[in-house]
Structure 1
Amino acid sequence: MNARRRLKADGLPSRVYVRSGSYHWVRNTDEKWIKLCRVDEGQTRMYERLAEEKRKLEIDADEASMSRLVAVYMNQNDKHYADSYRVEWRRRGEDIRKAFKLKAIEEVDPGTVEEFLIGNWADKLPTQTAMKGWLSKFFSWAVLRRYVALNPCREVALKKPKTRKVYIPHAHFLAIRDALAIYRYEKSVGGARRTFAAKVPTGPEMQVFVDLCYLTCQRSTDIRQLRWSQVDRAACVIHFVPSKTADSSGEAVDWPITPEIEDVLRRARELQRDINIRSLTEDFVVTDRNGKVKTAAACRDAWRDAMARAQLDGKGYTVKDIRAKALTDAKKAGYNIEALQIAGAHTDRATTEGYIKQREVPVSTVRLQLPAA
């Protein structure tokens, strides 16, 4: 419970309140309510206890105000993030708490922020940007609550990450897709080494996930969180409201259920019939073997393992590259940019063009001949 602003003067020190017959001080570093003493012990005792608690804070060498306030910020704001992102968001917050554990929030200036970002992720520009964004939102929160006067992140300029231009060729895509379901191993039989194939237990579910990512051109997060209730059989479409823009543009798209998508949905249903129906607590299309929604980490790890089995782990393909491949392939198939903008649920045409141009290699039409003698 946060300290509340008094509506009228009551003669008590700042951040000291009466609750349940006792004086309480709301510690400014973490908003924790500290009991000072009973009201009937008198204000002299209350002031003595308040001085004791403030003295503890001043000499506490284990954790300073920056770390404490980050913890308060996390507890108050993690509910605003989707389950799929909350764990990663809190992990970043814990990294910041660890780095600034002995810093008072007033000591964190632009130079400190820059040293933290570049010192930890010198060769990882996307991570620098993500961590700066996390810190900037925290300091905006702190400014509004008067813990600091200015947001130090505003003065920090970072290099922009290079535009990602990775395109997964058809052969590599199919090799990874196959490797999601099968792994091969060698075994000695009769003195000779033979190669055997075995099924990956989670392979069929991952193939459903990858196929839907490609066939619908949607973000991997929206495929992981796709529910059967979004599959509209009457209208023969799947209703997508991209999670990334749900709180901003709210751009949505209805994707037709093509025969290819129908086949993938049928496979998903058949896989879920093997799961105890009681474990299917929610109606997700893509689930794990226990009927739970697949996590981003599980999908990422399965994809990386499949790349290794396909001997493509050095290529750097990611799950997010599937969407870029789908939109690029659709452009090559003859669909115009307006159709692709609708497919990608992009409000800005430039965003769609970026997906395509980054991954299409232009072919020169210039033809020359050697000059005549």
Structure 2
Amino acid sequence: MSRKLPPRVYQKHGAFYFVTNPDRKWIRLGQTESEMYRALAKLKSTDVHLGEMSEYFERYEKEIIPTKAPRTQTDNLAEIKNLRQAFGKMRPEHIKPKHIYAYMDARGATAKTRANREKSLLSSVFSSLIRWGVVEDNPCKNVKNFQEKARDRYVEDWEYEAVLSLASPVLAAAMEIASTTGMRQGDILNLRYADLTENGVPVTQNKTGKKQIFEWTPALKAAIESAKHHPRHADSIIYIIANERGQQYTSEGFKCNWQRLMNKALETGAIKERFTFHDLRAKAGSDAEENAQKLLGHASATTTRRVYERKPSKVKPIR
């Protein structure tokens, strides 16, 4: 049937049934959806096992995550695996703030940012549980996040040029695209020759769905041309940033190549401190100054200022 039913509710012979766990007893809920939901509420009040969190994580994964932006989907699928390990065997109504704090403390010992993101996803799951009529309250709402310090690494021009001189043509092209447009790594890896137009480079941000067209500039044209110096470049290559086999880079594959480039730059003394590829997005935002928000495609100027504008501001003394 096309309609989505609550976990462990099935329609059979014109009526709705709830199947208990683990004894697999079929409990008749009624013939209409309103009867079904009223009966479910009564079952819950009598403490019938209405399902563990693992079932609701599965429903959230099937119904809610696919509605999000592609990058968010990828992040959520990784986050929900960790949440399932910690809370999967618990019933929703048994999860209290103390359990979430215990999870945050354990996860935050090595990854505070990830702990915050996973708690946010758990909160979203509970918001869906409220909508589905499973629980009445969200235990995450009073659990505080770890305080996060925004990254402030600004890549100086001389550092950028030093690393660029050591990069392969393809990595150099990726660097130039990032520092010119402020695109994220994932969006750069998705660029295809077939998408290029006379007006510029159209991009739909993988993380937010924001649509942009980066108009042609001499620097952007030169960056695209640089990628064509690929050792196996041919008309059959689809993606602008292609690996040694002429195929699209995976995220992990590109990161490995970037780390090798960083190691080389440090070993040769070209730079003293490594920087991430994502720092080039911040460099673009910082160097763009007044145009930073539009360049990066942010809905909020606050995000642009707080996270991506890292260049020290120049201040003229009063005398």
- Whether the 8 Å contact between 1:179 and 1:307 is mirrored in structure 2 is no
Match of 1:191 in 2: none
- Whether the 8 Å contact between 1:213 and 1:223 is mirrored in structure 2 is yes
Give the direction of change, closer, same or farther, for the CA distance of 1:261–1:35 in structure 2 (3 Å limit): farther
Match of 1:346 in 2: 298
Map residues 303-314 of structure 1 onto 2, 5 A cutoff: 303-311=258-266
Match of 2:84 in 1: 97
Find the aligned partners of 2:134 and 2:10 in 1 and give their Cα distance.
17
Deviation at 1:70, TM superposition (A): 1.4
Which SS does the other structure have where 1:255 is aligned? strand
After superposition, the C-alpha distances for 1:289-347 in whole angstroms (9 at most, x for unaligned) are: 3444323322323222221222289845222110111232344xxxxx1x333323334
1:128 corresponds to 2:115: yes
- Whether the 8 Å contact between 2:266 and 2:274 is mirrored in structure 1 is no
- Whether the 8 Å contact between 1:3 and 1:15 is mirrored in structure 2 is no
1:165 corresponds to 2:152: yes
Find the aligned partners of 1:266 and 1:28 in 2 and give their Cα distance.
63
Deviation at 1:209, TM superposition (A): 1.5
Give the direction of change, closer, same or farther, for the CA distance of 1:74–1:352 in structure 2 (3 Å limit): closer
Find the aligned partners of 1:293 and 1:77 in 2 and give their Cα distance.
28
Give the direction of change, closer, same or farther, for the CA distance of 1:27–1:139 in structure 2 (3 Å limit): farther
**What is the TM-score with the length of structure 2 in the denominator?**
0.75
Deviation at 1:120, TM superposition (A): 1.4
Match of 1:263 in 2: 222
Deviation at 1:97, TM superposition (A): 1.1
- Whether the 8 Å contact between 2:184 and 2:278 is mirrored in structure 1 is yes
Which SS does the other structure have where 2:230 is aligned? helix
Which SS does the other structure have where 1:311 is aligned? helix
Find the aligned partners of 1:76 and 1:349 in 2 and give their Cα distance.
32
Aligned counterpart in structure 1 of residue 140 of structure 2, from 153, 162, 167: 153
Give the direction of change, closer, same or farther, for the CA distance of 1:3–1:176 in structure 2 (3 Å limit): same
Aligned counterpart in structure 1 of residue 58 of structure 2, from 71, 95, 100: 71
- Whether the 8 Å contact between 2:283 and 2:310 is mirrored in structure 1 is no
Map residues 217-256 of structure 1 onto 2, 5 A cutoff: 217-233=182-198, 235=199, 237-246=200-209, 250=210, 252-256=211-215
Find the aligned partners of 1:16 and 1:328 in 2 and give their Cα distance.
56
**Could you tell me the percent identity over the aligned residues?**
20
Amino acid paired to 2:215: P
Amino acid paired to 2:283: K
Find the aligned partners of 1:79 and 1:268 in 2 and give their Cα distance.
33
Match of 2:278 in 1: 320
Find the aligned partners of 1:100 and 1:17 in 2 and give their Cα distance.
29
Runs of 4+ in 1 over 6 A off after TM superposition: none
Match of 1:109 in 2: 96
Match of 1:53 in 2: none
Deviation at 1:28, TM superposition (A): 7.2
Structure 2: any 5+ residue segments left out of the alignment? 27-47
Find the aligned partners of 2:72 and 2:245 in 1 and give their Cα distance.
21
Give the direction of change, closer, same or farther, for the CA distance of 1:160–1:359 in structure 2 (3 Å limit): farther
Amino acid paired to 1:211: E
**What is the TM-score with the length of structure 1 in the denominator?**
0.65
Aligned counterpart in structure 1 of residue 12 of structure 2, from 18, 21, 45: 18
Match of 2:317 in 1: 365
Amino acid paired to 1:260: A
Q: Please say which structure displays the higher CA radius of gyration.
A: 1
Match of 1:137 in 2: 124
Find the aligned partners of 1:105 and 1:351 in 2 and give their Cα distance.
34
Find the aligned partners of 2:203 and 2:150 in 1 and give their Cα distance.
27
Deviation at 1:3, TM superposition (A): 5.7
Deviation at 1:214, TM superposition (A): 0.8
Find the aligned partners of 1:258 and 1:346 in 2 and give their Cα distance.
22
Amino acid paired to 1:164: R
Which SS does the other structure have where 2:252 is aligned? helix
Find the aligned partners of 2:112 and 2:186 in 1 and give their Cα distance.
23
Which SS does the other structure have where 1:239 is aligned? strand
Amino acid paired to 2:260: D
Give the direction of change, closer, same or farther, for the CA distance of 1:27–1:121 in structure 2 (3 Å limit): farther
Give the direction of change, closer, same or farther, for the CA distance of 1:128–1:15 in structure 2 (3 Å limit): closer
- Whether the 8 Å contact between 1:209 and 1:286 is mirrored in structure 2 is yes
Find the aligned partners of 1:165 and 1:226 in 2 and give their Cα distance.
28
- Whether the 8 Å contact between 1:67 and 1:101 is mirrored in structure 2 is yes
Aligned length: 291
Which SS does the other structure have where 2:122 is aligned? helix
Which SS does the other structure have where 1:119 is aligned? helix
Q: CA RMSD in A?
A: 3.6
Map residues 268-279 of structure 1 onto 2, 5 A cutoff: 268-271=227-230, 274=233, 277=236
